[in-house]
Amino acid sequence: MIILKTDEEVARMRASGRIAARVLAAVAQAVRPGITTRELDALGARLIRAADAQSAFYGYRGYPGQICVSVNEEVVHGIPGARVIQLGDVVSVDVGVEYRGFIGDTATTVMVGVTDPEIIRLVAAGQQALDRAVSLAVAGARLSDLSHAIEQTAASAGYAVVRDFVGHGVGRQMHEDPQIPNFGAPGRGPRLRPGMTLALEPMLNQGSSEVEVLADGWTVVTKDRKVSVHFEHSVAVRDGAALVLTCVE
C-alpha cells in the first residue's frame, strides 16, 4: 500500500479520484430503460478518454470492459454487453481510472423506477454502510472497525454482506494491501495512519450472502438470484475525518 506523504501526491490522488467520480456520475445519470450495458460502457470509455485518463479495469487480468455494470442479481464485475436495462432494475456501476500514475476506484447503485420498498431499503442500507465506513476511516481507528460497521449496518437492516469480495488499499495499483472485508469483529487489524488510501466497497445482498461467478469468468451473481447492491469510495485517511477522493468537486 502507499502512504501519501506530499501535497503533490494527495493532489494527484484527488485528480484521479475526481475523474472517476465524474465519469461514474455521468454514467449513472445515463442509466434508463432501453439502454444497453454496452452503451453505458461506451459512454464511460469516451468520458475517461476525454479526461486524458485510462480505464484501470480494461485488460486487468484480461477484463474486457472499460467499466463494470452489474444488474439486479449481478453483484460486481458485470461485463458490459447486450443486456437491456428494464424498468425496475437495480444497476451497479463501477468506474476505475488511472491518471498520471494514480488510481481512483468508485461505484454506486441506481434504481430504475423501482417501487418495491424492500429494494429501496436495500439500496439505502448499502449507501449507509459506505457512509459509516468512510466516517470511521480516521487516523487511530483499527481497520476492522470499518468492516464491522459495514456488517452491522447491513445486518440491522436485515441484509447480508458478500464475504467473497473485499475492499482494498488503492494508490499506484488498483488493488493494494490491505484487504478490507465487509464483515468482522471490531478492534482488529492495522491501525489507520494519515495518508493511507483505501477503497471501501460494501456489497449487500437482499437474500443470502452466497455468490458465484458465471461462466464468463467475471460476472459475480447471487446464488439465490436475489438483488445485490454495491457502493464504493476511494478515501485518504487523515486525522479527524477521511478525505473522500472520489468526489466530483
| Site for Co ion, rule CB under 5 A | 94, 105, 107, 199, 232
DSSP assigned state of 4: -
Among 9, 74, 98, 201, binds ligand MF3 (CB under 6 A): 201
Residue 11: how many other CB atoms lie within 10 Å:
12
CA distances from 75 to 28, 129, 130, 166, 211 (A): 16, 16, 16, 12, 8
Residue 239, phi-psi category: left (phi > 0), alpha (psi -120 to 50), beta (remainder) = beta
In whole angstroms, how close is the CB of 105 to ligand MF3 at the nearest point?
5
60 contact, one of ligand MF3, Co ion, none, CB 5-8 Å limit per kind: ligand MF3
Nearer to Co ion, 58 or 224 (CB): 58
233 binds ligand MF3 (CB under 6 A): no
**193 interface partner picked from ligand MF3, Co ion, none, CB below 5 to 8 A per type:** none
User: Of residues 4, 22, 57, 93, which one binds ligand MF3 by CB under 6 A?
Assistant: 57
Q: How far is the CB of 123 from Co ion (least distance, A)?
A: 17
The closest alpha carbon to 246, from 39, 108, 153, 110, belongs to 108
Round the CA-based radius of gyration of the chain to a whole number and report it. 17
Amino acid at 134: V
Which C-beta is closer to Co ion: that of 64 or that of 88? Answer: 64
Please report how close the Cβ of residue 187 comes to ligand MF3 at its closest, in angstroms. 25
User: Hey, how many other C-beta atoms are within 10 angstroms of the C-beta on 120?
Assistant: 13
Contact residues: ligand MF3, CB under 6 A: 57, 60, 63, 68, 77, 94, 96, 105, 199, 201, 232
